[in-house]
C-alpha cells in the first residue's frame, strides 16, 4: 500500500504526536502532503484507498480504518507470551466483580483510564469486561518503542524522583524476543517495582501510540506509525 499523505486530526494538531510527525515530514527528501480534518468531517476527507497516514486519537485512527471498510483487531494489553514478565497476577473479570482496592483497566482500548477501582470517578457499566490486579507500587515507569523486533527508543514517563532505578534492558529485550506474534510496531511499558524487580506494565499498539519527547527521534516515530499503518492495511485487504 502506497502512503502519499499525512492526515492530522485538527483537534490534536498541536499535540506532541502531531508536532513530531510534522517535524519528521519536513526533514524527508520527498515530504508527504499534509492536511487536517476534524473528527466530524473525517468521512469527507479521508481517501478511501487508505493512502493517508492518520495521526490523532484512538477513535480518530479507528474511524479512518472503518472508512476503509475494516476494523482494527486490538492487541492484548497483556500478551500471553509476556505474562511471566508481569510479576503480579492479572485476571479477566467484569467490573462489578473487582474488589475496590484492586487496580482495574478496561479490556477495550481507552474505554476508561486504569486506576484503583475505589478511586475511579467515571460511571462504568457493572458488566464491562476489565483486567484487574492487586495494587502494586512502581518507583519508575518507562516506554520502549519497538519496530520490527528491535528497540528503537526508550524514555521515562512517570513523575518520580530522578534517582530512581531504571528497568533492566536485558529483561525488556527478552520480552521482545518472547512475543511470538507481535505486530511490526508497538511499545512495551516496563517499570521497576518497589522491591526492585523489573516488570511489564502493559503493551501498546503503534497505530495511535503516544509520543514522549526525547524517547526517539521524530523521524523514527513517523516510521513507527507508518510501518504499523501499512501492516494494518495489508491485513485488511
Both 84 and 152 in one domain: the answer is yes
For 195, list phi and psi in degrees, rounded to 5: -85, 5
What average pLDDT does this structure show over 122-142? 92
Q: Is residue 214 part of a domain?
A: no
Given a cut of 90, whether residue 64 has pLDDT beyond it is no
pTM: 0.91
Range of the domain at 16: 5-72+229-236
Total Cβ atoms within 10 A of residue 57: 17
* pLDDT tens for each residue of 111-127: 788 899 998 877 889 99
Both 57 and 11 in one domain: the answer is yes
Q: Please, what sign has the CA dihedral across residues 45, 210, 169, 199?
A: negative
The domain total for the chain is 3
Both 52 and 100 in one domain: the answer is no
Average confidence score pLDDT of the chain: 91
The percent of residues above 90 in pLDDT, for the chain, comes to 63
Beta-sheet pairing, 185-193 with 198-205? antiparallel
Residues in the chain: 237
Both 150 and 128 in one domain: the answer is no
Both 82 and 140 in one domain: the answer is yes
Cβ atoms of 105 and 153 closer than 8 Å: no
Both 48 and 160 in one domain: the answer is no
CATH classification of the domain holding 83: 3.30.470
What average pLDDT does this structure show over 179-186? 96
* pLDDT tens for each residue of 76-111: 999 999 999 999 999 999 999 999 999 999 988 777
Confidence of residue 17 (pLDDT cuts 50, 70, 90): very high
Q: Is residue 189 part of a domain?
A: yes
Q: Is residue 217 part of a domain?
A: no
Amino acid at each position: 500500500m502506497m502512503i502519499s499523505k499525512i492526515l492530522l486530526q485538527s483537534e490534536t494538531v498541536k499535540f506532541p504526536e502531531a508536532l513530531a510527525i510534522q517535524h519528521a515530514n519536513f526533514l524527508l527528501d520527498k515530504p508527504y502532503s499534509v492536511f487536517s480534518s476534524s473528527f466530524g468531517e473525517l468521512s469527507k476527507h479521508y481517501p478511501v484507498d487508505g493512502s493517508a497516514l492518520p495521526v490523532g486519537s484512538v477513535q480518530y485512527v479507528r474511524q479512518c480504518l472503518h472508512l476503509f471498510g475494516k476494523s482494527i483487531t486490538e492487541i492484548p494489553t497483556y500478551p500471553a507470551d509476556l505474562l511471566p514478565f508481569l510479576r503480579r497476577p492479572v485476571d479477566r473479570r467484569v467490573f462489578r466483580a473487582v474488589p475496590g482496592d484492586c487496580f482495574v483497566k478496561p479490556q477495550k482500548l481507552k474505554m476508561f483510564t486504569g486506576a484503583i477501582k475505589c478511586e475511579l470517578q467515571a460511571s462504568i457499566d457493572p458488566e464491562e469486561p476489565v483486567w484487574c490486579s492487586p495494587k502494586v507500587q512502581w518507583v519508575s515507569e518507562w516506554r520502549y518503542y519497538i519496530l520490527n523486533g528491535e528497540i528503537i527508543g526508550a524514555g521515562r514517563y512517570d513523575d518520580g524522583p530522578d534517582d530512581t532505578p531504571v528497568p533492566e534492558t536485558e529483561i525488556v529485550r527478552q520480552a521482545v524476543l518472547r512475543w511470538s506474534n507481535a505486530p511490526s510496531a508497538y511499545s512495551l511499558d516496563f517499570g521497576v517495582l518497589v522491591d526492585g524487580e523489573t516488570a511489564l506494565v502493559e503493551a501498546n499498539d503503534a497505530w495511535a501510540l503516544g509520543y514522549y519527547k526525547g524517547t526517539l527521534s521524530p523521524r523514527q516515530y513517523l516510521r513507527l506509525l507508518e510501518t504499523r499503518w501499512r501492516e494494518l492495511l495489508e491485513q485488511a485487504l
